[in-house]
């Protein structure tokens, strides 16, 4: 009996007895043989409405047991409520509506052609990561007593950026209830265990044994370029069954250590590269009933992934044994193509002995030809230089510009302002975004006790202003600071925002406590969206260095120590020979899955497992030739298997600026240089200002300077003329290809570069971005010479920029200028289509912020302005904010008060290009 037309108003019944009304959209997301899936109007739920709810009388009871025995981890389309119609008739169930915009079924990952067409990474390490995540999901279900039964690539989804796995169609599983097991009736040929198919019994009767067979088959495909474990070549011309399931039943597994009498491995297999432990686990699971458990697969794959070596010819390749099998496969393929070249037949000949099914599989799985020698290997040859106090950061803070113009102008700039071989500045009018939501506020504080520093200076050392990348307006991460000790609020119980409430709820991930002997720097705080943790720099007031990364959430504080810091009392800029374990400025980066923290200075690299803060799992020295360079940015890719580091240095006021970017890969437990971008064609010696990448790590943006000049007439320091370096800030774009990293170029073979988007762009002061750890002391030094307002932080088009996760939307850094009490700021949004070699300006975001404290009450007192912008992970929203810390006089002018102002704006981004 069919259910008939479905009303879009339904009732949700929860396990705790609560109920709710919900409305779903009329248009279905998808429809199958069993039911139709709709999205709720609020976009939070997916509702599966069965075509015939009465078909299986145990279905409703099974769903209630699924609610009572649900997995505790994410990664399952698991029911959260039972759905009934207006008459309280059972019709289906509700589950969270997952964001599958960057997800594909596992079938897409197993085919090279599909990976290429969908833009999925070719990284072998990525496939290993997916395998680990799949094993962990199956292990979680088995821990609860559930069996999937119909485990196959089509029922598995993966995120092409993170490698996280989601298991679909969970209502078809065999579910272990409180006192009863509910059957799973679905299964698919090609993944049925031989003892079930051969004995003509249903796979569900095998239970966990069926799951473990299918799991081993899928893991084999992930690790063997999509090749099914029962595909192979006839040995001695013997006739083989035509389909994989028949081969499974016959035990025709060709990849065991002991050769099979009838079948031998496919010529496109790379199974000989597998470690012995993996080979044994596959053989045991695929030709015997003593199969490897999912939890053991997870542990085994995790351990073996650490032993992977990155190929020197292609960083997408990774392998375990002596030689790269992927390169050998390419060479074999090239030989086949060479032999068949000129053949009048429309299809190339395959190696002899392959049947039609195997030919089809090979066409899907083996890679195209790549010339490995086209990749230029990294050899860093860098001359040493001395970094003075003002080369680290802030040189713009202590030098003033005269009224004369900074750079030449071009009055006829309708098409272009400046042109040369490398970069062309053009002017394009872009629509200014309008504010979708906004929040602003004021907080005033009063002194408590005697302090030698002004209250605003104390606050300025806790710049909790920086915005983090966020998933959506409904999930905006926020750190709050609760002061006690030197200051106390006179209006609000907390310094920072109690919540962000412009149709977006602030997710409080940490509450920082201010003490007289510790402080936290949030210039580069990072958010773990998987576990809702914040990671911040933990520092000391005296001598003012950062020594730890601290994990903070609502009730827990864990710290990871960077170094021994035996020379903490060394002041920045002093020419004192540093001992091996002395303090050096450093940065950290959290891996995409939130499981590891990587820390790096110009001397040493450490990696911690976040679950063990006692001892790093990796500790290694870095090249001595980096000793005089600043680490300007550290990024992790593929959950720490690859790193991107930007380094830079200069003399006073940016003179003799140099910079470069390197890619490191984890090989045999040690990070090794696999790409030095300064050695590649199209590289710029004034690089390394900053770096950003997409989640897959195959699109890279590098902050740079171009057209430098030494100017000795326009700037002064304490009223004396000084020489400074001026240049244009730009961002270069790179893409990882089969031939290695290449600069992105337009169809006209022009380098795609983000340049100043304005008439007659002015050159800016060349600066090396400040380093974490010594910035605090540097700020303290600057405070002695400042008497007016200051824009704090490293700002500029070519720093602080970021990609969305896909890498098709780029948010530039902030271009900011101060005009008395006004702060002008601008960022631009670009749409990048790497496949079509196009870069388009889509919008500009311009704001002028005015401090209401900039009145006669603050005359002669200090004020600090912090600006920050962040892009949502999907690239559809931009958050832009400013935070002002200032001293102000009380109404009777008898007291100096500390004040904080803030304004946050949220913009919706339409990434249609500007024509």
Helix (H) / strand (E) element for 561: namely strand 556-561
Rounded to whole angstroms, the Cα distance separating 550 from 558 reads 6
- Do 260 and 310 fall into the same domain? yes
What six digits make up the tokens of 379?
């050899």
Q: Is residue 344 part of a domain?
A: no
Of 546, 474, 581, 568, give the one whose Cα is nearest residue 906: 474
Per-residue pLDDT band for 453 (boundaries 50, 70, 90) equals very low
Q: Which pLDDT score, from 0 to 100, does residue 607 have? A: 96
Rounded to whole angstroms, the Cα distance separating 731 from 753 reads 6
- Do 142 and 56 fall into the same domain? no
Look at 126-130, 301-305, 783-787 and tell me which has the smallest mean pLDDT. 783-787
Q: Which pLDDT score, from 0 to 100, does residue 241 have? A: 86
Per-residue pLDDT band for 283 (boundaries 50, 70, 90) equals very high
- Do 361 and 418 fall into the same domain? no
Strands 863-871 and 790-792: parallel
Q: What is the pLDDT of residues 338-391, one digit of tens each?
A: 555 545 443 333 333 323 333 333 333 333 333 333 333 332 222 222 222 233
What six digits make up the tokens of 87?
């008459």
Per-residue pLDDT band for 509 (boundaries 50, 70, 90) equals low
Computed over every residue of the chain, the mean pLDDT equals 76
**323 backbone dihedrals φ, ψ, rounded to 5°:** -120, 155
Is the distance from CB of 496 to CB of 481 less than 8 angstroms?
yes
Enumerate residues 6+ apart whose C-beta is below 8 A from 17: none
Instruction: Specify the 3-state DSSP secondary structure of 500.
Output: coil
Of 698, 718, 731, give the one whose Cα is nearest residue 828: 731
Q: Is residue 342 part of a domain?
A: no
Helix axis angle for 276-287 and 208-223, nearest 10°, is 140
Task: Tell me the C-alpha to C-alpha distance, in Å, between residue 334 and each of 88, 226, 328, 329, 340.
Answer: 65, 19, 10, 9, 10
- Do 418 and 296 fall into the same domain? no
- What proportion of the chain, given as a percentage, has pLDDT over 90? 37
Q: Is residue 606 part of a domain?
A: yes
Is the confidence at residue 167, as pLDDT, over 90?
A: yes
Q: What is the pLDDT of residues 92-136, one digit of tens each?
A: 999 998 877 778 999 999 998 888 888 899 999 999 999 999 999
Q: Which residues of 568-592 are buried (b: 16+ CB within 10 A; e: fewer)?
A: eebebbeeeeeeeebbbbbbbbbbb
Q: Is residue 337 part of a domain?
A: no
Question: What's the average model confidence in pLDDT over 464-469?
Answer: 73
Is the distance from CB of 695 to CB of 712 less than 8 angstroms?
no
Question: What's the average model confidence in pLDDT over 45-50?
Answer: 93
Is the distance from CB of 514 to CB of 482 less than 8 angstroms?
yes
Q: Is residue 915 part of a domain?
A: no
Q: Which pLDDT score, from 0 to 100, does residue 904 have? A: 79
- Do 234 and 275 fall into the same domain? yes
Question: Cα 461 vs. chain centroid, distance in angstroms?
Answer: 28
Look at 58-62, 430-434, 513-517, 902-906 and tell me which has the smallest mean pLDDT. 513-517
- Do 79 and 140 fall into the same domain? no
**128 backbone dihedrals φ, ψ, rounded to 5°:** -65, -40
Per-residue pLDDT band for 148 (boundaries 50, 70, 90) equals very high
Q: Is the peptide bond before 543 cis (omega within 30 degrees of 0)?
A: yes
Is the distance from CB of 875 to CB of 850 less than 8 angstroms?
no
| DSSP code for 294 | H
What six digits make up the tokens of 639?
């959950």
Q: What is the CATH number of the domain that holds 71?
A: 3.30.200.20
Q: What is the pLDDT of residues 828-848, one digit of tens each?
A: 999 998 888 889 898 888 888
Burial of 828 (0-12, 13-18, 19+ CB in 10 A): buried
Q: Which pLDDT score, from 0 to 100, does residue 491 have? A: 36
Is the confidence at residue 791, as pLDDT, over 80?
A: no
Q: Which pLDDT score, from 0 to 100, does residue 429 have? A: 64
Q: Which pLDDT score, from 0 to 100, does residue 889 have? A: 66
- Do 690 and 816 fall into the same domain? yes
Question: What's the average model confidence in pLDDT over 728-750?
Answer: 86
What six digits make up the tokens of 499?
């919540």
Enumerate residues 6+ apart whose C-beta is below 8 A from 32: none
Rounded to whole angstroms, the Cα distance separating 865 from 739 reads 45
Q: Which pLDDT score, from 0 to 100, does residue 93 have? A: 96
Last residue of a domain, one of 310, 345, 373: 373
Enumerate residues 6+ apart whose C-beta is below 8 A from 181: 174, 175
- Do 73 and 166 fall into the same domain? no
Q: What is the pLDDT of residues 854-902, one digit of tens each?
A: 444 444 445 667 788 999 998 999 988 887 766 666 666 666 666 667 7
Last residue of a domain, one of 96, 113, 146: 96
Which range marks the domain in which residue 402 is found? 389-623+633-908
Indicate if the alpha-carbon torsion angle 41, 47, 48, 50 is positive or negative: negative
What six digits make up the tokens of 348?
């190339």
Q: What is the pLDDT of residues 712-725, one digit of tens each?
A: 877 777 677 888 89
Question: What's the average model confidence in pLDDT over 777-781?
Answer: 35
Last residue of a domain, one of 81, 96, 111: 96
Is the distance from CB of 181 to CB of 144 less than 8 angstroms?
no
Q: Which pLDDT score, from 0 to 100, does residue 50 have? A: 92
- Do 852 and 720 fall into the same domain? yes
Is the confidence at residue 615, as pLDDT, over 50?
A: yes
Per-residue pLDDT band for 605 (boundaries 50, 70, 90) equals very high
Q: Which residues of 832-855 are buried (b: 16+ CB within 10 A; e: fewer)?
A: bebeebebbbbbbbebebebebbe
Q: Which pLDDT score, from 0 to 100, does residue 501 have? A: 33
DSSP for 69-114, written as a single string: T--SSS-B----EEEE-TT--EEEEEEE----TTEEEHHHHT-HHH
Q: Is residue 393 part of a domain?
A: yes
Rounded to whole angstroms, the Cα distance separating 753 from 755 reads 6
More confident site: 454 or 416: 454
Task: Tell me the C-alpha to C-alpha distance, in Å, between residue 598 and each of 124, 548, 582.
Answer: 22, 12, 19
Q: Which pLDDT score, from 0 to 100, does residue 391 have? A: 30
Number of domains in the chain: 3
Instruction: Specify the 3-state DSSP secondary structure of 719.
Output: coil
Of 451, 441, 455, 492, give the one whose Cα is nearest residue 887: 455
Task: Tell me the C-alpha to C-alpha distance, in Å, between residue 733 and each of 230, 709, 740, 747, 876.
Answer: 43, 24, 14, 15, 21
Of 385, 632, 657, 680, give the one whose Cα is nearest residue 524: 632
What six digits make up the tokens of 364?
């899907």
Q: What is the CATH number of the domain that holds 258?
A: 1.10.510.10
Is the distance from CB of 333 to CB of 367 less than 8 angstroms?
yes
Helix (H) / strand (E) element for 25: namely strand 19-31
Q: Name the β-bridge partners of 713.
A: none
| DSSP code for 872 | B
- Do 870 and 746 fall into the same domain? yes
CA-only gyration radius of the chain, Å: 30
Per-residue pLDDT band for 495 (boundaries 50, 70, 90) equals very low
- Do 113 and 85 fall into the same domain? no
What six digits make up the tokens of 409?
């102008």
Q: Is residue 351 part of a domain?
A: no
Is the confidence at residue 307, as pLDDT, over 80?
A: yes
Is the confidence at residue 75, as pLDDT, over 80?
A: yes
- Do 247 and 275 fall into the same domain? yes
Enumerate residues 6+ apart whose C-beta is below 8 A from 257: 279, 280, 283
Rounded to whole angstroms, the Cα distance separating 868 from 802 reads 12
Q: Is residue 722 part of a domain?
A: yes
């Amino acid at each position: 009996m069919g259910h008939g037309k479905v009303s879009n108003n339904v009732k949700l019944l929860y396990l705790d007895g609560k109920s709710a009304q919900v409305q779903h959209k009329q248009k279905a997301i998808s429809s199958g043989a069993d039911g139709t899936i709709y999205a709720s109007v609020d976009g939070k739920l997916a509702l599966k409405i069965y075509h015939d709810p009465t078909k299986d009388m145990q279905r409703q009871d099974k769903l209630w047991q699924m609610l009572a025995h649900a997995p505790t981890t994410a990664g399952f389309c698991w029911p959260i409520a039972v759905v009934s119609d207006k008459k309280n008739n059972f019709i289906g169930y509700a589950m969270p509506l997952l964001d599958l915009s960057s997800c594909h079924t596992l079938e897409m990952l197993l085919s090279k052609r599909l990976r290429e067409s969908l833009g999925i990474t070719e990284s072998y390490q990525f496939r290993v990561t997916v395998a680990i995540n799949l094993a962990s999901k199956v292990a979680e279900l088995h821990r609860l007593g559930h069996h999937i039964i119909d485990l196959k690539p089509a029922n598995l989804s993966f995120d092409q950026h993170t490698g996280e796995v989601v298991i679909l169609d969970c209502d078809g599983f065999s579910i272990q209830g409180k006192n009863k097991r509910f059957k799973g009736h679905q299964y698919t040929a090609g993944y049925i265990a031989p003892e079930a198919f051969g004995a003509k019994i249903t796979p569900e009767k095998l239970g966990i044994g069926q799951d473990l067979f299918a799991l081993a088959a899928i893991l084999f495909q992930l690790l063997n370029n999509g090749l099914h474990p029962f595909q192979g070549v006839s040995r001695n011309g013997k006739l083989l069954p035509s389909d994989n399931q028949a081969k499974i039943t016959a035990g025709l597994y060709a990849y065991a250590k002991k050769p099979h009498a009838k079948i031998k491995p496919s010529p496109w297999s790379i199974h000989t590269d597998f470690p012995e432990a993996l080979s044994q686990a596959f053989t045991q699971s695929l030709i015997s009933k003593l199969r490897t458990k999912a939890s053991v697969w997870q542990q085994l794959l995790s351990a073996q992934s650490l032993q992977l070596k990155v190929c020197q010819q292609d960083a997408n390749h990774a392998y375990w044994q002596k030689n790269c099998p992927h390169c050998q496969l390419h060479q074999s393929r090239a030989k086949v193509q060479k032999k068949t070249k000129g053949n009048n037949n429309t299809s190339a000949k395959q190696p002899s002995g392959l049947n039609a099914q195997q030919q089809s599989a090979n066409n899907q799985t083996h890679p195209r030809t790549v010339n490995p020698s086209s990749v230029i290997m990294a050899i860093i040859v860098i001359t040493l230089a001395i970094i003075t106090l003002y080369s680290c950061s802030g040189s713009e803070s202590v030098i003033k510009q005269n009224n004369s113009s900074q750079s030449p102008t071009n009055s006829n700039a309708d098409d272009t302002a400046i042109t040369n071989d490398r970069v062309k500045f053009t002017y394009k009018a872009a629509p200014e975004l309008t504010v979708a939501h906004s929040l602003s506020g004021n907080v005033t504080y009063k002194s408590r006790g005697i302090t030698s520093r002004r209250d605003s200076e104390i606050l300025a050392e806790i710049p909790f202003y920086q915005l983090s990348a966020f998933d959506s307006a409904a999930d905006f991460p926020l750190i709050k600071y609760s002061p006690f000790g030197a200051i106390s609020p006179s209006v609000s119980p907390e310094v920072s925002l109690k919540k962000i409430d412009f149709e977006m709820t602030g997710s409080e991930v940490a509450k920082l406590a201010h003490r007289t002997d510790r402080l936290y720097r949030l210039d580069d705080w990072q958010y773990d969206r998987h576990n809702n943790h914040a990671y911040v720099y933990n520092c000391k007031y005296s001598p003012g260095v950062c020594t730890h990364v601290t994990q903070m959430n609502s009730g827990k504080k864990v710290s990871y120590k960077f170094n021994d810091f035996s020379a903490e009392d060394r002041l920045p800029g002093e020419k004192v020979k540093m001992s091996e374990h002395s303090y050096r400025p450093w940065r950290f980066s959290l891996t995409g899955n939130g499981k590891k923290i990587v820390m790096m200075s110009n001397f040493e690299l450490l990696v911690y497992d976040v679950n063990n803060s006692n001892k790093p799992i990796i500790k290694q020295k870095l090249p001595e030739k980096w000793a005089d360079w600043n680490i300007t940015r550290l990024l992790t890719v593929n959950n720490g298997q690859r790193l991107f580091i930007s380094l830079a240095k200069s003399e006073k006021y940016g003179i003799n600026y140099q910079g470069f970017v390197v890619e490191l890969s984890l090989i045999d437990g040690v990070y090794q240089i696999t790409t030095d971008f300064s050695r590649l064609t199209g590289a710029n010696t004034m690089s390394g200002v900053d770096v950003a990448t997409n989640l897959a790590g195959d699109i890279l943006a590098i902050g740079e300077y171009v057209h430098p000049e030494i100017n000795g007439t326009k700037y002064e320091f304490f009223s004396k003329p000084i020489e400074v370096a001026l240049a244009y800030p730009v961002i270069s774009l790179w893409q990882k290809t089969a031939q290695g990293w290449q600069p992105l170029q337009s169809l006209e073979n022009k380098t795609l570069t983000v340049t100043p988007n304005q008439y007659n762009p002015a050159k800016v002061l060349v600066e090396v971005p400040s380093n974490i750890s010594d910035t605090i002391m540097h700020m303290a030094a600057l405070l002695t010479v400042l008497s007016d307002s200051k824009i704090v932080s490293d700002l500029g088009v070519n720093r602080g920029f970021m990609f969305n996760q896909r890498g098709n939307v780029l948010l530039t850094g902030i271009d900011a200028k101060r005009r008395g009490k006004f702060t002008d700021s601008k960022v631009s949004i670009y749409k990048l289509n790497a496949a079509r070699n196009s870069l388009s300006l889509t919008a500009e975001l311009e704001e002028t912020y005015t401090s209401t404290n900039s009145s006669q009450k603050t005359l002669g007192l200090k004020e600090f302005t912090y600006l920050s912008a962040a892009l949502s992970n999907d690239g559809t929203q931009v958050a832009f904010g400013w935070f002002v810390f200032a001293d102000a006089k009380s109404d009777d002018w008898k007291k100096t008060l500390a004040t904080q102002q803030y304004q946050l704006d949220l913009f919706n981004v339409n990434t249609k290009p500007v024509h």
